[in-house]
Amino acid sequence: MTGWPQQSLARIEPSQAKHARMSAMSTLSVQHVSKSFGTTESPLQVLTDVTLELSGGDSLAIVGPSGSGKSTLLQILGTLDQPTSGTVLIDGTDPFSYSAAQLAAFRNHKIGFIFQDHHLLPQLSVIENVLVPTLAGGRPGSEHIDRAGELIEAVGLGHRRGHLPSQLSGGERERVAIARALLMKPTLILADEPTGNLDRKSAEAVTELLLRLQSDNGAILISVTHSDALAAAMKDRKELLDGKLV
């Protein structure tokens, strides 16, 4: 891939671009992943034999009671923590085979994160926040700046690109976080309660936007949520119970 699509992401992609994207289909393969914390004498078994196969365009809600291991699974899928056993392949690559520096670069390009409390940097404008994932590579190039502008338009904040997070509503901040998560055209978008802090109307708008942009970009979306409305909007829903995904 030599550059980001220049056309608005809200528009339908030309068949050529769609073909190019489909030829490099995003994939996530999680095989027999288990995770325990603590010592071998007294381990706390949190995940047991979790297996999952997803590809570009798939969206999955992970639900489950508090303490069932949802955040732990998200941390492992986000390559922020390693499984005790089992494998994770993102686009056919085992991220845990990389050095720390390689892993950081891989994560930056392949995974977009969306958090409940958006994690925007307060001193940066909307467009600067969306460009944060490029900072690891130095100054953002013009193709990144163009794509950031397109994404900000696509999330309906074109007229607010110079504003600070403190000047935005909760729903608008979450939309900026969605744009930032999509900037590097990630394989995997991981969301942790993306509508958790929003009223019903804003939550509906953010859900619709997130799913539309995820689908337009051929990414895989996995969201941990307690929201029935968000879970119902996703293609699939699984529950973590006693460390197993059912």
Ligand X SMILES: Nc1ncnc2c1ncn2[C@@H]1O[C@H](COP(=O)(O)OP(=O)(O)OP(=O)(O)O)[C@@H](O)[C@H]1O
Smallest distance from the beta carbon of 243 to ligand X, in angstroms?
A: 9
Does residue 78 touch ligand X according to CB under 6 A? no
Interface residues for ligand X in 31-60 (CB under 6 A)?
37, 44, 46
Does residue 187 touch ligand X according to CB under 6 A? no
Nearest to 109 by CA among 209, 181, 194: 181
In sequence order, what are the residues at sequence separation of 6 or more whose Cβ sits closer than 8 angstroms to the Cβ of residue 178? 114, 155, 194, 206, 209, 210, 213
Smallest distance from the beta carbon of 81 to ligand X, in angstroms?
A: 8
**What is residue 84's DSSP assignment?**
S
The helix (H) or strand (E) run that includes residue 63 is strand 59-63
| Contact residue for ligand X among 5, 56, 64, 83 (CB under 6 A) | 64
CA distance 201 to 82: 37
Does residue 161 touch ligand X according to CB under 6 A? no
Smallest distance from the beta carbon of 164 to ligand X, in angstroms?
A: 29
| Contact residue for ligand X among 3, 14, 43, 67 (CB under 6 A) | 67
| Contact residue for ligand X among 26, 59, 72, 187 (CB under 6 A) | 72
DSSP 131-185: TGGGGGGSSPPHHHHHHHHHHHHHTT-GGGTT--GGGS-HHHHHHHHHHHHHTT-
Nearer to ligand X, 77 or 127 (CB): 77
* Binding footprint of ligand X, residue count (CB under 6 A): 11
> What are the structure tokens assigned to 41, written together?
């004498």
At position 20, the amino acid (one-letter code) is: A
Nearer to ligand X, 218 or 243 (CB): 243
Does residue 71 touch ligand X according to CB under 6 A? yes
Question: What residues line the site for ligand X (CB under 6 A)?
Answer: 37, 44, 46, 64, 66-72
